[in-house]
Amino acid sequence: MPEQKQLVILLLRLAVAGSFASILVRFAAFQRMLMREERTLPQRLKLALGVSAVFGGGVGARVLIPTYQAVDLGLEGSLLSGMIGGYVTGLVAGIFISLPAMFNGELMSMPLFAGVGVLGGLLRDLAEDKEYVWRFSLFDLSAKRENLRRSAFQIGCLLAVIVAELLQWWVARLFRNKGGVFCLAPTTGHAPTANIFSIYASTVFAVIIPLKIWNNSRNEKKLELQQLRLNEARLAALTSQINPHFLFNTLNSVSSLIRTNPEQARSVVYKLSSILRRLLRNTDNMTTLRDELTFIDNYMSIELVRFGDKLRFIKEIDPETVDRMVPSMLLQPIIENSIRHGLATKVDGGMIRLRSRIIDDRLHLFVEDDGVGIAEAKLATLFEQGIGVSNVNERLKVLFGNEYRMWIDSKPGEGTRTGIEIPAAYSGSAGQALSPAS
């Protein structure tokens, strides 16, 4: 084989190895398999079938078109199967990958590939940490003293790949006239040392490249899962801040009524129990606007008892919006702020208006009051202070990322208007949260 042609084939083998790995990692089922370090027997078999379908297809392409020598990565695929899945995966994958070659009369392919698959499983078992398998690299052989075991494993993997390629050449040479195996290295005569070195180097890199591609996919999935867990933790923390805050202020209202009007206090306690039952029962981050409005009605009935005729509450709800999904406990902190900071200090009280509508397939919610308003200096830092609106803004950020808007307009002496805009078709939880807004 001319040296130039052989070099092209070896370079193509690396490109094919990367392509095969990329094809497999596109399947969600294969990605889930990569994320598991411990697998059941059916899962190991599925992993073996997935790898053998692609790498076995490469062997089949070489059998059908002999000039396509670069696509035959049966040896590498068998070894990789064992390294990522263990003995069973490597053995089964080796058997299935060898089938096209077996049908072509290369009878030693099956025992060779099956044995190499088991060798890959042995490497996996020898790894003190299964992450060592994913970090196999020629550039990690000079690790520091504290990583001597990892370095020893890396060297062991390198030797195993070389032994596998050497075994393939030996079997091809021994059975070259009796149905042996396909081998790029010449089985007769003497080949230049540089050619032999390049063949072994291509085999090593044909194993390393898929491992790197699959490990990158694993790391991306791990980062996504970590972000989702962080979002869930943030939502739980924010909700746990809102609920006690709301409860504390409601109990203050009850305590102020017990001495002056016990009957009203009893009514407030009844409404409060309804609210608490709903809070304890609801563990979802999202709820329908209808349920949120029921919660607001119970809350406002408590505040109306407390403030009497000084407080008026008006709802202008578009019927099309009531079944849309919104974050639970979304409106109560905003309305509570309107009452406490906008109307409570106003001698003649005031009005709170809650409106909803859908514009361009986005849900718009507005809470307006005609209270004392907010000073411009304080308005600029409102999202960074307090528990109410800042927590609502944080929850919206976690749930919707850049897909939401929340704003507050206010004029001292005239009132405050808070607006929220979210996707109208959204129906999800923290597990579907988008990346945080910038």
Q: What is the pLDDT of residues 46-93, one digit of tens each?
A: 999 999 999 999 999 999 998 899 999 999 999 999 999 999 999 999
Q: In angstroms, what CA-CA distances link 5 with 2, 207, 242, 346, 400?
A: 5, 22, 70, 89, 55
Residue 143 CA to residue 243 CA, distance in Å, equals: 52
Q: Are 34 and 223 a contacting pair, CB within 8 Å?
A: no
Average pLDDT, the chain: 83
The pLDDT of residue 176:
77
Sort strands 415-423 and 362-369 into parallel, antiparallel or unpaired: antiparallel
The pLDDT of residue 432:
41
For residues 161-177, average pLDDT? 89
The pLDDT of residue 232:
63
CA angle 15/16/22 to nearest 5° reads 95
pLDDT bin (cut points 50, 70, 90) of residue 279 is: low
Q: How far is CA 231 from the centre of its chain?
A: 11
% of the chain surpassing 90 pLDDT: 40
- Does residue 386 surpass a pLDDT of 60? no
pLDDT bin (cut points 50, 70, 90) of residue 433 is: very low
The pLDDT of residue 237:
58
The pLDDT of residue 382:
78
The pLDDT of residue 72:
94
Contacts of 401 (CB under 8 A, 6+ apart): 433, 434, 435, 436, 437
Q: Are 264 and 257 a contacting pair, CB within 8 Å?
A: yes
- Report residue 105: phi and psi, to 5°: 90, 5
pLDDT bin (cut points 50, 70, 90) of residue 427 is: very low
Over residues 298-340, the pLDDT tens digits come to 888 877 877 778 889 999 999 999 999 998 888 888 898 888 8
Residue 406, strand partner residues: 420
User: Which of 187-191, 267-271, 354-358, 414-418 has the weakest average pLDDT?
Assistant: 187-191
The pLDDT of residue 233:
62
The pLDDT of residue 429:
38
Residue 110 CA to residue 99 CA, distance in Å, equals: 7
Over residues 186-232, the pLDDT tens digits come to 777 666 667 788 889 999 999 999 999 999 999 888 888 777 666 66
Residue 390 CA to residue 241 CA, distance in Å, equals: 11
**Residue 347 tokens, joined:** 């001698």
**Residue 143 tokens, joined:** 């690790």
Residue 249 CA to residue 206 CA, distance in Å, equals: 66
- Does residue 162 surpass a pLDDT of 90? yes
Residue 371 CA to residue 368 CA, distance in Å, equals: 9
Residue range(s) of every CATH 3.30.565.10 domain in the chain: 261-432
- Report residue 225: phi and psi, to 5°: -65, -40
pLDDT bin (cut points 50, 70, 90) of residue 118 is: very high
pLDDT bin (cut points 50, 70, 90) of residue 395 is: confident
The pLDDT of residue 437:
34
CA atoms within a 13 Å half-sphere pointing along the CA-CB vector of 406: 19
Most confident of 198-207, 254-263, 368-377: 198-207
The pLDDT of residue 436:
33
The three state secondary structure string of the chain is CCHHHHHHHHHHHHHHHHHHHHHHHCCHHHHHHHHCCCCCHHHHHHHHHHHHHHHHHHHHHHHHCCCCHHHCCHHHHHHHHHHHHCHHHHHHHHHHHHHHHHHCCCCCHHHHHHHHHHHHHHHHHHCCCCHHHHCCCHHHCCCCHHHHHHHHHHHHHHHHHHHHHHHHHHHHHHCCCCCCCCCCCCCCCCCCHHHHHHHHHHHHHHHHHHHHHHHHHHHHHHHHHHHHHHHHHHHHHHHHHHHHHHHHHHHHHHHHHHCCCHHHHHHHHHHHHHHHHHHHHCCCCEEEHHHHHHHHHHHHHHHHHHHHHHEEEEEEECHHHCCCEEECCCCHHHHHHHHHHHHCCCCCCEEEEEEEEEECCEEEEEEEECCCCCCHHHHCCHHHCCCHHHHHHHHHHHHHHHHCEEEEEEECCCEEEEEEEEECCCCCCHHHCCCCCC
Residue, of 227 and 376, whose pLDDT is higher: 376
The pLDDT of residue 385:
66
Residue, of 142 and 297, whose pLDDT is higher: 297
Residue 147 CA to residue 153 CA, distance in Å, equals: 10
User: Which of 100-114, 301-315, 372-386 has the weakest average pLDDT?
Assistant: 372-386
Residue, of 190 and 101, whose pLDDT is higher: 101
The pLDDT of residue 364:
95
Contacts of 1 (CB under 8 A, 6+ apart): 186
Residue 248 CA to residue 329 CA, distance in Å, equals: 15
Q: Was domain 261-432 assigned CATH 3.40.50.300?
A: no
